[in-house]
Amino acid sequence: MEKTPLKTITENRKARHEYFITESLEAGIELTGTEVKSIRAGGINLKDSWIAIENGEAYIKQMHISPYEKGNIFNRDPLRERRLLLHKREIMRLLGMVKQQGLTLIPISVYFKGSRVKVQVGVCKGKKLYDKREDAAKRDAQRAIDRAIKDKNRI
């Protein structure tokens, strides 16, 4: 069986900064035609988006999809909530994790899998300020090490 190529459209960098991602899963998303065309053109923003479970269904909220230029009357509200396509068992498991362990559901990235738009959903735990500082210090140290190795190899 041949794998379909994944084409990443956008990533939620803020999510990786603000949260520890404990688990992730793939979900489909219910979109209209003009929204898909706008996503193909790169008109999507995940910055402040999050996922809520209501009445046994998962919805992505505050995800901004820019109106399609040639969409006229078919364009929808850019910030409307959109339903995620998950199995009922997956939704109930996620709901249990959110209720019992105090975790949050955040969209990590949006990508094309074949011709379909998929969302990578992260089960996340919020970082404290000292965790963010620790991550920044590790990144800076790794950058310094890489720079030193690169300089050493030049000589």
What percentage of the chain carries pLDDT values higher than 90?
Answer: 27
Q: What is the pTM (predicted TM-score) of this model?
A: 0.76
Per the structure block, which two tokens stand in for 4?
């379909």
- What is the tens place of the pLDDT at every residue in 7-41? 888 898 888 888 888 999 999 999 888 888 888 88
- Given this model, what pLDDT does residue 75 score? 73
- The whole-number pLDDT of residue 1 equals 53
Residue 74's pLDDT is 67
Mean residue pLDDT across the chain: 86
* Contact in structure between 19 and 104 (CB atoms under 8 Å): yes
Non-local (6+) Cβ contacts of 69 within 8 A are none
**Average pLDDT of the residues in 55-76:** 83
All structural domains of the chain, each given as residue ranges with its CATH number in brackets, are 6-127 (2.40.280.10)
Identity at 101, one-letter amino acid code: Q
pLDDT of residue 61: 92
pLDDT in tens, 125-148: 887 887 888 888 988 999 999 888
Given this model, what pLDDT does residue 71 score? Answer: 67
Predicted confidence (pLDDT) at residue 153 exceeds the cutoff of 70: yes
Tell me what the mean pLDDT of segment 109-118 comes to.
90
Helix (H) or strand (E) run with residue 81 in it: none
Q: What number of other Cβ atoms are within 10 A of residue 108's Cβ?
A: 18
The rounded Cα 74 to chain-centroid distance in angstroms is 25
Write the Ramachandran bin of 72: left for phi over 0, alpha for psi from -120 to 50, otherwise beta: left
